[in-house]
Amino acid sequence: MDAFGWAVVALAVFFLLFFSFTNGFNDASAVVATTIASGAASPRNAVVLAAVTGALGVVLGGSAVANTIKKMVVLPPHVAGAPQLSAVAIVGAALAGAVLWNLTTWRLGIPSSSSHALVGGLVGAALVARGPDAVNWGAAWLSDPLHQPIGGLAGVVFGLVLAPALGLSAAWGIHKVVKLALRNARFRVNTHLKRAQILTSSVLSFAHGANDGQKAMGIFVVILLYSDLEGGDSVPLWVRAVVLGTITAGTLGGGWPIMKTLGRRIFKLEPVHSLDSQVASAAVLFGATNFGAPVSTTHVVAASVMGVGAAERVSAVRWGVAKHILQAWGTTIPASALAAGAIMAALHYGAGL
C-alpha cells in the first residue's frame, strides 16, 4: 500500500479503538450504575471490578457475536495480495459515525446504545458507498427465523428490540418473587443483598464484555482482512488484547452522567432492586451472546431498572425520564446512519473510495 492507503487503514483502526473506548464508558457505565446507586460499592471499587470481570468476558466470550457483526454489510470479495481500501473506508466511516453519536449521548447523559450506533453506522456507510445491495437486510433470517442463526439487519434489530423487553419482564418477575420471599425480612438483610451484588455485578460485567467486546473484534478482523494484513475469519489473540485494553480504559474512565441517569433518575434503587435488575440483565445478555445476537447492555440494564421499579409500584418509576431514553433509543440507528453516510460521502466523492 502507498501512504494514502496506510492513512485510510490507520484512521479506521483509530476510530475502532475510539469506538471501543466510548463503548467502555458508555455501556460499562450502565453495568456499575445500579451497584453504586444502591450503596453496594464505592464508584472506584465498582468500576475497577467491572473492568476486571468485563476483561475476562472479552477474552473468554467466544466469537458468535463477532461473526454476526462481520456479516452486517456485504463487502466485495477479498482477494489476497490486493488491499481494498473502499471496504476499509466503509468500516471506518461506520465507526466514526458511531463514535460521534456515542459522544453526543454521553455528553447529554442519555443512556444510548453503542450497538445501535454501530449497526446504524454500518448501514449508512454501506448504502452511500455501494447502494442497497451492500446491506445484508436479513432476508435469509426472515424466511426461517426459527432455524436460521440471527443475521442481517432484520435479525440484529429484532434482537436489539427484544432484549430490553426481556430485561424489563424478567426483572419484573424476579422482583415480584424476591419481594414475596423477603416480605418478613428485617432491615439488616440489606447487608447481605449488598454483598451478593459483588457476585451479580461481576457476572453482569462479564456478560457485557462477552457481548460488546465481540462487536469491536469482528470489525477489527474485517479491517485487517481487507487491508491484507491478516487472513482468515478467526479473531487473533492480539486483537482480543487490543480491544480488551481500550474497553477497559473506557470503563475506568467512567461515564458518570449515564451512571446518574440509570442509578438515580429512573427509580430510587434499594439493594434488593439493584440485585434483581442485575440478575435479569445478566441472564438476557448471556442468552443473546449464546445466540450470536449483538444487543445493548445499556438498554437491557435501563429496561431492567424500569422492570423492578414497576414491580414495586408503577407510579414510582419516573416515566418522563424513561420517555427521553426511549426517544434516544429510537433515534440512534438513523442518527448514526446519517453521520456515517455523510462521512462516507466525503470519502467516496472526495477521495474516490
| pLDDT tens per residue across span 261-272 | 665 667 778 899
Q: Do the beta carbons of residue 318 and residue 267 sit within 8 Å?
A: yes
pLDDT in tens, 112-153: 777 788 889 999 999 999 899 888 888 877 787 776 777 788
Which percentage of the chain shows pLDDT scores above 90? 25
pLDDT in tens, 185-201: 888 888 999 999 999 99
> In Å, what is the CA distance from 309 to each residue of 161, 169, 302?
20, 11, 11
Give helix then strand counts, H and E, for the chain: 13, 0
What's the pLDDT at 15?
A: 94
What's the pLDDT at 200?
A: 93
Mean pLDDT rounded to a whole number for the chain:
83
What's the pLDDT at 232?
A: 66
Q: Do the beta carbons of residue 150 and residue 158 sit within 8 Å?
A: yes
pLDDT in tens, 252-262: 776 565 666 66
Which percentage of the chain shows pLDDT scores above 70? 90
* 256 or 228, which is more confident: 228
Q: How far apart are CA 323 and CA 155, in angstroms?
A: 25
pLDDT in tens, 61-102: 777 777 777 778 888 776 666 678 888 999 999 999 999 988
Q: 5-37: b or e for each residue (b if 16 or more CB lie within 10 Å)? A: eeebbebbbebbbbbbbbbbbbbbbbbbbbbbb
Residue 336 has pLDDT above 80, yes or no: yes
Q: How far apart are CA 133 and CA 340, in angstroms?
A: 17
What's the pLDDT at 95?
A: 94
* 348 or 93, which is more confident: 93
- pLDDT-derived band at 249 (thresholds 50, 70, 90) equals confident
What's the pLDDT at 211?
A: 84
**Residue 78 burial (C-beta neighbours within 10 Å; 0-12, 13-18, 19+):** middle
Could you state, in order of their start, the residue ranges of all structural domains in the chain?
3-351
Q: Which among 116-120, 168-172, 290-294 has the top mean pLDDT?
A: 168-172
